[in-house]
């Protein structure tokens, strides 16, 4: 693969995460809670990947027991921790502020990668990081001014940390030569099972019908299986810090979906934020 195309795996992941509202909003309107949608998409994703692995190569299910901490890390410490804190962050802070606090994650990735993997902090990375944070602030609307309480800040930082930990544990999985599909499968399986006790399964059953099942299937495959597979695959070619910055294209895509599908306004400030985030992606795509 040409060097300039390696970042496209991560770019694709961020883009697919950005269209989540197309599936999430209908499910929420049908009566599903946020945590229920997390459980549903993770378990559907695990089941979908499990079938593919059974057909393709059953050895993909295998992992060394001494390495189980890697998948517990991606599943529980990252995906489950991030998902639960993100739900509460949106409750306390609102969606716009929750999104920008989520994208404190590149800072955590940069520092943890320096400490654990000796990744270099370059001027190019710092510039791209600054553009990403500034762009996300503008895209989210936080630039308009909004107060944030202590609880909201703590929850927001927790989402950023949880989001960042996937890059860290995902890197360990790569170093241990696990297939991207194996890592993605166990991430969803552990996260889904971990969220199950919080999901009030009895309340979900009456909501299941053909329409909700199809939407949930789309959520699990398009916004879970595909982006996490692409992101994990992308970590094979792009270092953690660059990957965490490139994936910030997510709020840009989400903003564009809001304009094109939900008739939200594209202000000059939001457009400036889009330009800044895309500029950071271009910087990171160049070696």
In the block, tokens 């895209």 appear at: 139
Give the pLDDT of residue 24. 86
Q: In the predicted model, is pLDDT for residue 96 greater than 70?
A: no
In the block, tokens 């404190």 appear at: 104
Give the pLDDT of residue 222. 94
Give the pLDDT of residue 194. 93
Tell me the pLDDT tens digit for each residue of 242-275. 999 999 898 888 888 888 887 877 788 888 888 8
Mean pLDDT for 232-248 is 90
Rounded to a whole number of angstroms, the CA Rg of the chain reads 18
Do residues 135 and 277 touch, judged by C-beta distance below 8 A?
yes
Give the pLDDT of residue 147. 58
Please give the DSSP secondary-structure letter assigned to residue 148.
-
Percent of the chain with pLDDT over 90: 50
Give the pLDDT of residue 157. 87
Residues 6+ apart with CB under 8 A from 191: 38, 42, 75, 76, 79, 80, 83
Do residues 139 and 14 touch, judged by C-beta distance below 8 A?
no
Look over the chain and give the mean of its residue pLDDT values, rounded to a whole number.
Answer: 87
Q: In the predicted model, is pLDDT for residue 98 greater than 80?
A: no
Give the pLDDT of residue 127. 92
What's the rounded Cα separation, in Å, for the pair 202 and 1? 48
What band does 203 get if pLDDT is binned at 50, 70 and 90? very high
What's the rounded Cα separation, in Å, for the pair 162 and 73? 10
Give the pLDDT of residue 227. 94
Q: CA neighbours within 13 Å on the CB side: how many for 76?
A: 9
The CA-based diameter of the chain, rounded to the nearest angstrom, is 54
Lowest model confidence (mean pLDDT) among 17-26, 34-43, 90-99, 181-190 = 90-99
Give the pLDDT of residue 99. 73
What band does 74 get if pLDDT is binned at 50, 70 and 90? very high
What band does 206 get if pLDDT is binned at 50, 70 and 90? very high
Q: What is the DSSP annotation of 9-61?
A: HHHHHHHHHHTTHHHHHHHHHHT--HHHHHHHHHHHHHHHHHHHHHHH-GGGG
What's the rounded Cα separation, in Å, for the pair 79 and 241? 18
Structural element, H or E, at residue 211: helix 210-220
Q: In the predicted model, is pLDDT for residue 3 greater than 70?
A: no
Tell me the pLDDT tens digit for each residue of 137-175. 787 665 555 556 778 788 888 998 999 999 999 999 999
Tell me the pLDDT tens digit for each residue of 59-71. 999 999 999 999 9
Do residues 29 and 246 touch, judged by C-beta distance below 8 A?
no
Percent of the chain with pLDDT over 70: 93
Q: In the predicted model, is pLDDT for residue 1 greater than 60?
A: no
Do residues 61 and 182 touch, judged by C-beta distance below 8 A?
yes
Tell me the pLDDT tens digit for each residue of 6-33. 789 999 999 999 898 889 889 989 999 9
Give the pLDDT of residue 172. 96
């Amino acid at each position: 693969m040409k060097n300039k195309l390696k970042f496209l795996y991560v770019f694709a992941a961020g883009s697919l995460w950005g269209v989540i509202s197309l599936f999430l909003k209908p499910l929420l309107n049908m009566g599903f809670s946020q945590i229920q949608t997390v459980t549903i998409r993770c378990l559907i994703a695990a089941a979908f990947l499990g079938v593919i692995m059974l057909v393709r190569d059953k050895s993909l299910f295998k992992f060394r027991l001494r390495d189980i901490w890697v998948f517990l890390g991606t599943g529980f410490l990252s995906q489950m921790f991030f998902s639960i804190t993100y739900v509460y962050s949106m409750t306390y802070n609102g969606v716009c502020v929750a999104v920008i606090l989520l994208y404190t994650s590149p800072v955590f990735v940069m520092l943890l990668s320096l400490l654990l993997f000796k990744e270099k902090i370059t001027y190019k990375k710092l510039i791209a990081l600054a553009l990403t944070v500034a762009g996300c602030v503008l895209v989210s609307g936080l630039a308009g001014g909004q107060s944030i309480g202590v609880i909201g800040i703590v929850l927001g930082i927790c989402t950023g940390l949880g989001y960042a930990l996937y890059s860290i544990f995902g890197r360990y999985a790569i170093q241990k030569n696990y297939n991207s599909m194996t890592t993605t499968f166990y991430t969803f399986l552990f996260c889904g099972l971990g969220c199950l006790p919080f999901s009030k399964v009895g309340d979900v059953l009456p909501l299941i019908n053909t329409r909700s099942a199809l939407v949930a299937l789309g959520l699990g495959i398009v916004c879970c299986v595909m982006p996490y597979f692409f992101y994990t695959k992308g970590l094979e070619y792009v270092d953690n810090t660059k990957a965490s910055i490139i994936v910030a294209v997510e709020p840009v895509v989400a903003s564009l979906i809001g304009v094109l599908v939900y008739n939200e306004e594209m202000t000059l400030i939001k457009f400036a934020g889009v330009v800044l985030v895309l500029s950071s992606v271009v910087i990171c795509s160049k070696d």
